């Protein structure tokens, strides 16, 4: 399989522009596509600002920034993706939208192009089945903020070929990331462990065992976590945490994934975390 040198990215939002930055600073050419020019330019401006912060920290030179930006081509047309050996779909976490994009890609990409999805929850096997390249389809779950986070979960659908897995794993390593290989299952590995832990923190809070500050301090100091589970929930969004628990409950049909009543109550109140100014904590 030809080494991957040009990457297509669908979506110039938080994840898309982060992936674009990681690829461009590693010397790869990137075509970043979004629905309109404003979204594309916003994505490129975000990358530019992120690279400026690295220059301030002496982790990058101005010349390296210019070279990285020159490797990113913004576009509103899928036709510009034809030269990519790998296209990563990083659109909103909505199954119908992803299927629509994947089927559109099928009609215009060469047969040997690998397509990856950056989904954090949707079944890779199920998405692969909607494409005409199921053996060349794979999950590539980056973590936010992409330029800083070393982990990439590489998720094999039932249909994913060894050659596809190996090419994508090699690419993740070329980006300076540490990939882990995961079978397809709801939540994959990290979120499967992380979100139930956050849910349990809400049970502990509701039972009045400790204050939010003490729960978070306990997990930070006792488990060496950089941020406590309740502060992390506020950062992720309580509505997102609840949605993930509901998926686990539906898919696994196991009561250990029952969402904490307090989590449901706070979401009902519109206290979703940082994005609304109030969650477990006030912002």
Per-10-residue mean pLDDT, the chain, length 283: 88 96 98 97 98 96 97 97 97 93 96 95 95 98 95 98 97 97 96 97 98 98 97 95 93 97 98 97 97
The pLDDT of residue 93 is 86
Superfamily holding 6-183? NAD(P)-binding Rossmann-like Domain (3.40.50.720)
- Residue 281 tokens read as 């904590």
- Omega cis (within 30) before 160: no
pLDDT for the residue numbered 58: 96
Backbone phi, then psi, for 137, in 5-degree steps? Answer: -120, 140
Q: What is the DSSP letter of 53?
A: H
> What are the strands of the beta sheet with 86-89, ordered from one edge?
72-75, 29-33, 6-10, 86-89, 114-117, 137-142, 151-156, 178-183
For 277, the token pair is 């100014």
6-183 and 195-270: identical CATH topology: no
Total-model pTM: 0.92
To the query of whether residue 29 is one of the catalytic residues in this protein, the response is no
Active site residue 77: no
Angle separating helix axes 238-252 and 261-268, nearest 10 degrees: 130
**Is 48 among the residues known to form the active site?**
no
Catalytic residue among 118, 121, 153, 199: 153
Is residue 50 among the annotated active site residues? no
Whether 202 and 212 have beta carbons less than 8 Å apart is answered as no
What pLDDT does 1 receive?
62
Q: Which of 17, 50, 120, 123 is catalytic?
A: 120
The one catalytic residue in 50, 121, 123, 141 is 141
Res 205: pLDDT:
98
Q: Residue 33's pLDDT is what?
A: 98
- CA gap 42, 270 in Å, rounded: 28
109-115 CB contacts, 8 Å cutoff, 24+ apart: 109/81, 109/82, 109/84, 110/82, 112/136, 113/84, 113/85, 113/86, 113/87, 114/4, 114/85, 114/86, 114/87, 114/138, 114/164, 114/167, 114/168, 115/86, 115/87, 115/88, 115/89
Return the domain boundaries, the chain: 6-183, 195-270
Torsion sign (Cα): 44, 46, 51, 55: positive
Q: Beta partners for 15?
A: none
User: Comparing C-alpha atoms, which of 143, 137, 222, 214 is closest to residue 175?
Assistant: 143
Residue pLDDT, tens place only, 210-264: 999 999 999 999 999 999 999 999 999 999 999 999 999 999 999 999 999 999 9
Residue 227 CA to residue 219 CA, distance in Å, equals 8
Identify the pLDDT of residue 120. 87
**Paired strand residues for 6:** 29
For the chain, percent helix, then strand, then coil, each to nearest 5? 50, 15, 35
Judge: domain 195-270, CATH 1.20.1740.10.
Answer: no
């Amino acid at each position: 399989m030809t080494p991957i040198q040009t990457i297509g990215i669908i979506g110039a939002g938080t994840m898309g522009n982060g992936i674009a930055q990681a690829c461009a600073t590693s010397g790869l050419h990137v075509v970043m596509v979004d629905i309109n020019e404003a979204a594309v330019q916003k994505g490129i401006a975000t990358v530019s600002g992120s690279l400026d912060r690295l220059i301030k920290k002496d982790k990058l030179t101005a010349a390296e920034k210019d070279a990285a930006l020159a490797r990113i081509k913004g576009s509103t047309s899928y036709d510009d993706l034809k030269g990519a050996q790998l296209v990563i779909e990083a659109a909103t976490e909505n199954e119908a939208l992803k299927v629509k994009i994947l089927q559109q890609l099928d009609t215009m990409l060469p047969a040997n192009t690998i397509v990856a999805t950056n989904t954090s929850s949707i079944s890779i096997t199920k998405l692969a089945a909607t494409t005409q390249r199921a053996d060349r389809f794979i999950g590539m779950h980056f973590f936010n903020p992409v330029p800083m986070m070393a982990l990439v979960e590489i998720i094999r659908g039932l249909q994913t070929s060894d050659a596809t897995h190996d090419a994508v794993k090699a690419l993740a390593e070329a980006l300076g990331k540490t990939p882990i290989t995961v079978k397809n299952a709801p939540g994959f590995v990290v979120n499967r462990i992380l979100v139930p832990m956050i849910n349990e923190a809400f049970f502990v809070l509701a039972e009045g065992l400790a204050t939010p500050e003490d729960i978070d301090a306990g997990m930070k100091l006792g488990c060496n976590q950089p941020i406590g589970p309740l502060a992390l929930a506020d950062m992720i969004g309580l509505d997102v945490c609840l949605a993930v628990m509901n998926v686990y409950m539906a898919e696994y049909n196991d009561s250990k994934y029952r969402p904490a009543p307090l989590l449901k109550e706070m979401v009902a109140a519109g206290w979703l975390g940082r994005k609304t100014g109030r969650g477990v904590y006030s912002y």
